[in-house]
Structures are given as C-alpha cells and as structure tokens.
Amino acid sequence: MHDIRAIRETPDAFDAALARRGLAPVSPQILALDEARRTRIHAAESAQADQNRASKEAGAAKGRGDEAEFERLRTLVSAKKEEMAAMQAEAKALDTQLTDLLMALPNLPFDDVPDGTDESGNVELRRWGTPASFDFTPKEHYDITGVQPGMDFETAAKLSGARFVVLSGSIARLHRALAQFMLDTHIEENGLQETWTPVLVRPEMMLGTGQLPKFGEDSYETTNGWWLVPTAEVTLTNIVHGETVDAATLPRRYVAHTQCFRSEAGSAGRDTAGMLRQHQFEKVEMVSITHPDESRAELDRMTACAQSILERLGLPYRTIVLCTGDMGFGARRTHDIEVWLPGQNTYREISSVSVCGDFQARRMNARFKPQGGGKPEFLHTLNGSGLAVGRCLIAVLENGQQADGSVRIPDALHPYLRGKTILNADGSLG
C-alpha cells in the first residue's frame, strides 16, 4: 500500500513511477477522494464542536428557566448530531474507496530497475556454471527411464485432476532430501531461523502480503473463508502483522518448508507436461524483516543465499533483474534465478527474490521503534524462494541424467541418502 502523504506531496513523481509499470496517471483520482474524505472529516468535527457548544448552552438556558431557548438549542443539538453522523458515514465510505484504490495499485519500482514491457526487458546480472554437454539427446525429467517408476501423473489425475503428481520410492526420497538440504544450508550457513507455519490463513493475512484483493483467483479459498497459502511468504511476513517491534531485533530472517497451493489461473496451456507447474508443490521460502536502511543490501544477501543452494548442487544458473513490466505486484526490485534444464535446452525460473520496501508493512501495519527514540516507522520486508523443491528436483534429474537412463546425484545430497550416489535406470538408489 502507498503512503497518501507522499502522494499529496509529489503526485507527479508517483504517476511517473506507475507509468514505468504501464499504468495511467491515477493521482488526480486519489487526491480527489482524499480531499473529499478530509472535507467530510472536518465537517464532522465542526458539527461535533457545534453540538457540544449547543449542549452546554442548552444546560445553561434550562438552569435560568428559559424554556424557549432551551428547546431551540435542544433541536440544534439533535440536528448537529445527525449532521455529524452523516459526515462520518460519508467520510468512512470515501475512506473505503480510497483504501480500495490504493490497495489495487502495485508497488513503485526502484530507480535502478530496468524499464520494459515484458520479460524481453529483463537484464542478466550473472551466470554460474557451464551447462553439461551430452553425447545423447537429453530428456525432460518425466521421460528419464530411472525417474518414471517414481513419478506418476496418471494416478495423480485420478486422485485430483490435472497438474498434480504422485511421487514414490526413490524420487520421493530424493525430493525430501532436497528440502532437508536446503533447510540445513539456510539455517547452519546462511543464518536463517527455521520456522514452521500453517498453510491455512485468514484473508487479512493474504491482504497484508498483496495476494488479496486483486489476485484472489490465483489462490484457493476454503468454504469457511480461510485461504491456502501460495507460499510461506504469507505466513512468515505476517508474523509481524500489527506489531511494533524493537529495532534491536532486526533483521529477522526466517525460513520455512511448506506445501504451497496455486490455481495457476493465468497459465492455461503452459507447462502442462511434467511437474514444472503444479497446483500443489513444496517450497523452502526465505523472508527477511529489516530496518529501511538495510533492505536493499538484504536483497543481495538473500539472492546469494538462494544461489548458494544451486552452486552446492552443481547446477548451472543465471540471475536476472526483472524489468518494470515483468516485476511482481508487491516488489520494488526482483532478482530471478533461472536454473539450466537440458531437457528443455533453456534456463527456467527456480527462485524469485524481491524487496518490497514498506509496501507490505503498510498493509499489515507493521512498525519498529527506532533505537534512538522517536516515532515508530514502517518495517521493510523481503521474500524469496530458497528454493522451489520440485523445480530443483527437475534440475537435478535432468542435469544428472546419463545415456542408460540413470541419474548421477549431486555430492551434497549423498549424506541425506545414506551414501547413495546414483538413481539407477530401474528406479532404485545405488
């Protein structure tokens, strides 16, 4: 959500920032609603003052026996009470309109975010690793011989429909090992606090991180009004919802491994084969809650945390900064990390790390007390995948595949598999 005072002070700058995201000027509408709301508030306050004054005068008239003046003032008190209530109701309705408008507007990009209308405007920041050369045509994950016994889409379709998968045996074990490896790395080496959170949340938690009201169709709502989380960003960020924390406790760095649920409403026909795009999947999510002065540096730190997982697994990747036209709703700057998938002969997103500034904190009313004293300020929030577990499984399988249908397992996962180093062509671990 945006700061209405900043819009009042620099409306042209606000519109210019939104224009970079392809939106038309909206400050005139915002300022008109704001002015009308403030006018009603002032009118309500004036009516209340008149009511209070008339009430005192009515008491005095009653005391001196002036019944005519008393009745006139009593009528005035009643009229001012009705006027005050009407102005308060109008102010509340205008405030709702203003809040709804502000809630529907995306965050403002940092000045150093490249301009662009779509993903073609993204800018590569770095590459790591060299894609392997194969003496055979590499397959996509679901076509690898050793993978097929443990990756069942037909049974999943029978159970739940399209875009679900049943993992079993060695593949389920490898999937679990990846999640454990990610958690241990983030906790022991990257200094994040392991956290376990619900996957069902109240709607105000989805509102706080920006999934509602605009993107409700992308998630699943239960019959009792709870929502299934699309990512643990929702729960981890909302830990500070409505709180005022001490600056000395910052930064707070969380990591959680959860099930995630997305309707994929806008992805009809995309990535329908395999388990690249699923309605239910697992992620290891990172969230940082920081002082405003530290959030930009924290973005680079979190990006490095995500990259370190891929490097430890020996998976080639590239990191890009998203342009204004490809950036998510709540972000001020986003770094996408794309892992190399030889089966598709391309890089695909496996992590997205974003700094949101105070955008989410304003929606959540989350603040901190400055250490030197003074008025509480809004926190800054960041989130990022560290990593998407299923997509990482795909990358491990495709990059490690061999001509006989077996898969070499990265060294970093051997301890989690009790020394097993290979997925054999028959689906067993050896």
Active site residues: 262, 277, 349, 352, 391
- Using CA atoms, how far residue 250 sits from 114, 256, 284, 365, 426, in Å, is 30, 18, 22, 17, 50
What are the phi and psi torsion angles at 59 (to 5°)?
Answer: -65, -40
Do residues 315 and 291 make contact, with C-beta atoms less than 8 angstroms apart? no
Q: Tell me the three-class secondary structure of 335-398, residue by residue.
A: EEEEEEECCCCEEEEEEEEEEEECHHHHHHCCEEECCCCCCCEECEEEEEEEEEHHHHHHHHHH
Residue 346 assigned to a binding site: no
Residue 264 assigned to a binding site: yes
Residue 231 assigned to a binding site: yes
Strands 367-369 and 244-246: parallel
Residue 187 assigned to a binding site: no
Residue 350 assigned to a binding site: yes
Residue 232 assigned to a binding site: yes
Q: Which residue has the tokens 């994040």?
A: 192
Do residues 197 and 234 make contact, with C-beta atoms less than 8 angstroms apart? no
Residue 120 assigned to a binding site: no
Q: Other CB atoms closer than 10 Å to residue 367's CB: what's the count? A: 19
Residue 349 assigned to a binding site: yes
Task: Give the closest residue to 244 by CA, choosing from 375, 415, 51, 149.
Answer: 375
Residue 282 assigned to a binding site: no
Residue 262 assigned to a binding site: yes
DSSP 238: G
Residue 126 assigned to a binding site: no
Which residues are annotated as part of the binding site? 231-233, 262-264, 285, 349-352, 383, 385
Which residues are annotated as part of the binding site for L-serine? 231-233, 262, 285, 383, 385
Which residues are annotated as part of the binding site for ATP? 262-264, 349-352
